Amino acid sequence: RKQTTYKIIHVTSIETQFKVLSTEFHMTYVDYADPSIRKFADKPSVVTTWEVVCSGFFDSIGLYDAVSSTHKDTVLEWVDFFQIHDLVNKIPPRKSKTNTSLSADQCPNFFNLSQGEQKLVLLCRAMVKGPRLLLLDEPTHGLSGHNRDRLLNALIALADKPDVAIVYVTHRSDEIDALAFEHVLDLGDRSQHNTLDSHETDSDRHDHIPRD
């Protein structure tokens, strides 16, 4: 029993200290916010950006728990830090007496945002619990120039914080240069790519680290 208890505590600690922002998670939240998809239980008709960010405290897709005043203050601090007041309300919206969900006129609808804006909201969500390690897997994939620059600027600001380490996975050398990270692991020559048309044999693949 002691060993089992230790493992539970250990895993919980890892989940608290480690956050991942990936395309897979992004698409899962988009599906949840999509009003045409009703497979999620207790889903409001409108999923606001405020709810998305606050759900980070509970590691849930959707907000099902009460948000404390401390939670609200933390959210507002990160909204200020990332300068996303246009995406998440500066003042926390209130729930009406007749509807427990937040209305679209009080806070932006997460589903209606662009892909880049959604990723900024999810970045804010990832940071509200103060993780020590943040893993970003191709975060700018599919973003327009403006939204890509906005996300990169947010990450540059975050990289200056001494209490969080960032692992950034990308195939774009220009992003590595823009972020100016001190340590870079290059998995092979970025000018060469493995494709289905490659003439490389299976035995050859075991002789080196796979490239992008």
Report pLDDT digits (tens) over 12-65: 445 568 898 898 999 999 999 999 887 777 788 899 999 999 999 999 999 999
Give the pLDDT confidence of 81-108 residue by residue, as tens digits. Answer: 999 999 998 655 555 444 444 444 578 9
Q: What pLDDT shows up at residue 91? A: 59
DSSP category for residue 98: S
In 3D space, the residue among 123, 182, 126 whose CA is nearest the CA of residue 153 turns out to be 123
Rounded percentage of the chain residues whose pLDDT exceeds 90: 43
Q: Report yes or no on whether pTM surpasses 0.85.
A: no
Q: What does the pLDDT read at residue 194?
A: 44
What 3 state SS string does 14-61 have?
HHHHEEEECHHHHHHHHHHHCCCCCCCCCCCCCCEHHHHHHHHHCCCC
Q: How far apart are CA 163 and CA 127, in angstroms?
A: 11
* pLDDT: which is higher, 105 or 124: 124
Q: Report the Cα 156 to chain-centroid distance in Å.
A: 15
Distance CA 164, CA 186 (A): 22
* Helix ranges, 59-159 (H): 69-82, 115-127, 145-159
The answer to whether 150 touches 120, Cβ cutoff 8 Å, is yes
- Predicted confidence at residue 15, as pLDDT, reads 55
- SS3 call for 136: strand
Q: Which of 71, 73, 51, 48 has its CA nearest to residue 60?
A: 51
Q: Report d(CA 200, CA 104) in Å as an integer.
A: 53
Neighbour-count burial of 62, counting CB atoms closer than 10 A to its CB (0-12 exposed, 13-18 middle, 19+ buried): middle
The predicted-structure confidence for 197-206, as pLDDT tens digits, reads as follows 444 444 433 3
Instruction: Give the span between the Cα atoms of 76 and 88, in whole angstroms.
Output: 9
